[in-house]
A and B are shown apart, each in its own frame.
Chain A
Amino acid sequence: MKIKQFPNTVVSTWSPKSNYPINIAMGTAAQQLDASFNTSSTLELYSLQSNDLILNALISTDCRFHKLVWGGTNASEEWGSGIIAGGCDNGIIRLYDASKLARNVDSIVAKSDRHVGSVRALNFNLFQTNLFASGASESEIFIWDLHSMSTPMTPGSKSESLEDVIDLAWNNEVQHILGSLFHKYTVVWDLRKNEPIIKLSDNNSKVKWKAMSWNPKVATQVCIASEDDQNPVIQLWDLRYASSPVKHFVGHQKGILSMSWCSEDTDLLISCGKDNRILIWNPSSETEENSLVCELEHNYQWNFEVNWCPRDPLFIATSSFDGQTTLYSLSDLQNSKDQKINENVNTGQFQWSNSLSNAPNWLKRKCGASFAFGGNLVSFDGSLKTIQLNKTVIEPDLLLWSEYLQQILNNGNYEGFCHHKSELTLDDDIQLVWKFLKTMFQNNPKEAQLELLGYSNKTLTKEEFHSNILNTQEENIVTKFENFTLKSSVTNDLQDLLYQSLLVGNLSTAADIFFDNGKPVEALLLAITAGPKTLSRIQNKYLKNSKEPTTALLHAIITNDWSDLVENCDLNCWKEIMTALLTHTNGTNFISSFEKLGNRLAANDNLSLSKYAQLCYICSGNVEALVENIKDIKTIEKLQESVEMAMLLHRSMSSSESHLEVGKKFGELLVNYSETLVSQGDLEGALSFLEFTNKDQGVELKSQVYKALGKNQTIENTINNSQKLLKSNTHDFRKYSTTSATGTITPEPPFPTYPNSYIQDNDVNNLHQNQKPHLSNYPPPIQSQPTYNLNNQQQSVYNNFPPTGTQQYGNNFINQTNMQTKAVPPTPTPDASSRCMTPSSIKPGKPKYVIDPSVKGNNMYGSYNNNGLGMLSPMGQQSGFNSSIGQPHVLNQPLGQQNIFKPSMVQPNCLSQPLGQTNNSIEPLIQQQIQPNIYNPTYNQPKGPVPNLNPQPTFQPIQNNYSQVISPSPNLNQSSSIYNQRAPSVEPFQSLYAPLPSNYIKKSTPAGWNDPPMLSTSAPIQKPPTPVSSTPITHPLYTNNPPPIEEIGTYIPLRNNDEQFSTNNITQGVEALPKQTIPQEHIRIQVILNEIQSRLLEAVPTAPTRKRVMDIAGKVELLYDSIRENSLSSYLIQCLHTMIDLVLKRDYNGAFNIHTQLVSGPEFSKISTFMPSLKTLFQMAYQYNINLEGL
Chain B
Amino acid sequence: MKMVPMNDFILNEHEGEVHDAELDYYGQRLATCSSDKTIKIYNIQNGTKTLLADIKGHLGPVWQICWSHPVSGHLLASCSYDKRVVVWKESNDWFNIFEFTHESSVNSVAWAPHQHGIILASASSDGSIGIHVFNKEWSSVTINAHSNGCNSIAWAPFKEQLFGSNQPEFGKKLALASGGCDKLIKIWTIQSDQWVQIGEINCHTDWIRAIDWTCTIGDNRQLIASCSEDKTVVVSHSDDYAKWNSTQMQIFDSRVWTVSWSKIGNVLAVSTERNKVSLWKENRNGQWMICSKINDNKEDN
Contacts and interface: CB of A to CB of B under 8 A. Distances in A.
B269 A369 contact: yes
Interface string B1-33: 111111001111111111111110111101010
Interface stretch (B101-109, B132-140, B234-242): B101-109
Interface string B184-213: 000000000000000000000100011000
A393 B218 CA distance: 19
Given A334-B105, A394-B279, A708-B28, 20 more contacts: A48-B148, A50-B148, A314-B149, A331-B103, A332-B126, A359-B105, A363-B61, A364-B63, A365-B19, A365-B257, A370-B22, A371-B263, A378-B22, A379-B21, A383-B17, A385-B14, A387-B10, A388-B10, A395-B1, A679-B263
A386 interface: yes
B26 A707 contact: yes
A387 B11 contact: yes
A394 B258 CA distance: 19
A678 B270 CA distance: 21
Interface stretch (B76-84, B89-97, B168-176, B244-252): B76-84
B115 to A, nearest CB: 10
Contacts of B277: 369, 377, 379, 390
B257 A367 contact: yes
Contact of B105 (A331, A357, A391): A331
Contact of B1 (A358, A396, A668): A396
B63 A363 contact: yes
Interface in A653-678: 668-669, 672, 675-676, 678
B27 A669 contact: no
B183 interface: yes
B30 A378 contact: yes
A20 interface: yes
A669 B271 CA distance: 32
- 8 closest Cβ pairs, A-B complex: A372-B23, A368-B258, A367-B275, A50-B147, A381-B275, A331-B104, A382-B17, A373-B27
B261 interface: yes
A544 interface: no
Interface string A752-781: 000000000000000000000000000000
Nearest to B264: A679
Of B10, B81, B261, most A-chain CB atoms within 10 Å: B81
Given A396-B2, A633-B218, A371 B60 contact: no
B205 A378 contact: no
Contacts of A679: 262-264
A373 B23 contact: yes
A20 B184 CA distance: 13
Contacts of B120: none
B1 A337 contact: no
B17 A386 contact: no
A373 B27 CA distance: 6
B127 interface: yes
5 contacts: A359-B61, A365-B209, A368-B210, A381-B275, A389-B5
Contacts of B273: 366-367
A707 B61 CA distance: 33
Given A368-B210, A396-B2, A636 B35 contact: no
B298 interface: no
Given A378-B30, A381-B18, A387-B32, A675 B103 contact: no
Interface in A310-359: 312, 314, 331-332, 334-338, 357-359
A1161 interface: no
A1169 interface: no
A632 B164 CA distance: 8
A704 interface: yes
Given A331-B125, A388-B9, A672-B217, A368 B17 contact: no
B178 interface: no
A373 B263 contact: yes
B218 A365 contact: no
A367 B84 CA distance: 22
B295 interface: yes
Contacts of A367: 257-258, 271-275
A546 B98 CA distance: 84
B59 A710 contact: no
A283 interface: no
A369 B279 CA distance: 10
Contacts of A586: none
Contacts of A676: 217, 264
Nearest to B18: A380
Contacts of B20: 365, 368, 380
Interface string A125-162: 00000000000000000000000000000000000000
Nearest to B255: A366
Interface in A631-650: 631-636, 638-639
Contacts of A376: 23, 27
A603 to B, nearest CB: 14
B142 interface: no
A704 B271 contact: no
A359 B23 contact: no
B160 to A, nearest CB: 9
B267 interface: yes
A490 interface: no
A390 B4 contact: yes
Contacts, number: 253
B291 interface: yes
B22 A366 contact: no
B82 A392 contact: no
B228 interface: no
Contacts of B103: 331-332
Contacts of A357: 60
Interface in A40-61: 48-51
Nearest to B229: A362
Contact of B148 (A312, A337, A393): A312
A376 B269 CA distance: 11
Contacts of B272: 367
B65 to A, nearest CB: 11
Contacts of A392: 2-4, 262, 267, 279, 292
A384 B9 CA distance: 15
Of A338, A365, A383, A678, most B-chain CB atoms within 10 Å: A365
Contacts of A1027: none
Given A380-B18, A390-B6, A363 B107 contact: yes
Given A312-B181, A365-B19, A369-B269, A336 B12 contact: no
Nearest to A664: B161
Nearest to B124: A331
A1186 to B, nearest CB: 21
A391 B294 CA distance: 11
A375 interface: yes
Contacts of A383: 17
Given A331-B105, A394-B279, A704 B25 contact: yes
Contacts of A51: 127, 147-148
A385 B266 CA distance: 29
B264 to A, nearest CB: 4
A634 B82 contact: no
B104 A20 contact: no
Given A51-B127, A51-B147, A371 B260 contact: yes
A374 interface: yes
Contacts of A394: 1, 262, 266-267, 279, 281, 291-292
B19 A364 contact: yes
A385 B44 CA distance: 18
A698 to B, nearest CB: 10
Contacts of A704: 25-26
Of A336, A672, A707, most B-chain CB atoms within 10 Å: A336
A335 B82 contact: yes
Contacts of B25: 373, 704
A387 B210 CA distance: 19
Nearest to A379: B277
Of A367, A368, A388, A675, most B-chain CB atoms within 10 Å: A368
Interface string A994-1026: 000000000000000000000000000000000
